[in-house]
Homo-oligomer: A and B are copies of this chain.
């Protein structure tokens, strides 16, 4: 019953409410009927890794893991010595929404305030300057996400600047790609997997949020970080006995570009949403070109919108407005956008009127 109810509403809540694309389910059904080697040593995982490696500019190891937090914690646990710390944007997923997973493996996460969720050499430098000597942790790895938690993305030039900066400072660069698909298919994007493999020491290609039941592909480029990495995967409980479950899905995602097709759809749907908001003159908290939008709405509008649309409330500003997050996915139907447009048009006009009158009442 709950499920039915859920389905009755329009969901712009996130990009992991739907399951897997039918072709991935089919791939799983096929692989399921075979005998496969366990623990990620199966033919599907091998082929998926090869398909990914084909798109890189440097040799790399590819490991398939189950989710983003898991991938982050396994990677960082393996890459860092005990006293080494991570530099992350204050809005970074590892800093906010992973229940201290990195700290649980012993490492401090140093955060840097950013206007839009993105780090730059200029933002990182003070953090490095502020940490020296053995009484402080040693900043060793820069964590960024692309797209960021604010839906923004890095340009090739920004990524190259970060890569160069990190190499010159003895820092590792790690890219959380939970929503890398959206970044790589956003209009205007000029980053690709090849560039990531050149600039980052390691990054992951998110599957869970782009049409897979579960799964992320961790790409480790830096040879020094590859040694005995599978030991750490196993130690952190991240090695699936039936590793083909992720391997076969990534095989399906990468064998003919489905990965990019799915993300493009999400971005196109977001673009339509953006138009709806722009036409209504709704301000955005952040100018995010990807599948996440952060409109600033009157509290009353948010309240009524919640009755018909599923979304996340991001920040109550305390000034009568609230930032919400609208998010599209590989599976968002066009009809949902149209329905939202209709609902919103009605509500927002009312909301604005109500708000414009409010000061008069309060005065």
Contacts and interface: CB of A to CB of B under 8 A. Distances in A.
A103 B84 CA distance: 11
A25 interface: yes
A235 interface: yes
Closest 4 CB pairs of A and B: A19-B32, A70-B237, A83-B231, A134-B230
Given A6-B36, A7-B35, A103 B101 contact: no
Contact of A36 (B3, B109, B237, B240): B3
A304 interface: no
A157 interface: no
Interface stretch (A74-82, A254-262, A350-358): A74-82
A6 B38 CA distance: 12
B6 A242 contact: no
Contacts of A310: 35
A138 interface: yes
Nearest to A231: B83
Contact of A137 (B29, B69, B100, B236): B100
Interface stretch (A10-18, A267-275, A279-287, A295-303): A10-18
- Taking residues whose C-beta sits less than 8 angstroms from the other chain, chain A's interface range is 35 or more
Interface of A: 1-3, 6-7, 11, 14, 16-20, 22, 25, 28-29, 31-39, 42-44, 46, 66-74, 77-78, 81-83, 85, 96-101, 103-109, 134-138, 208-209, 213-214, 228, 230-242, 244-245, 310
B101 A236 contact: yes
A9 to B, nearest CB: 8
Given A7-B35, A99-B136, 8 more contacts: A2-B46, A6-B43, A18-B32, A19-B29, A19-B31, A73-B237, A82-B104, A85-B100
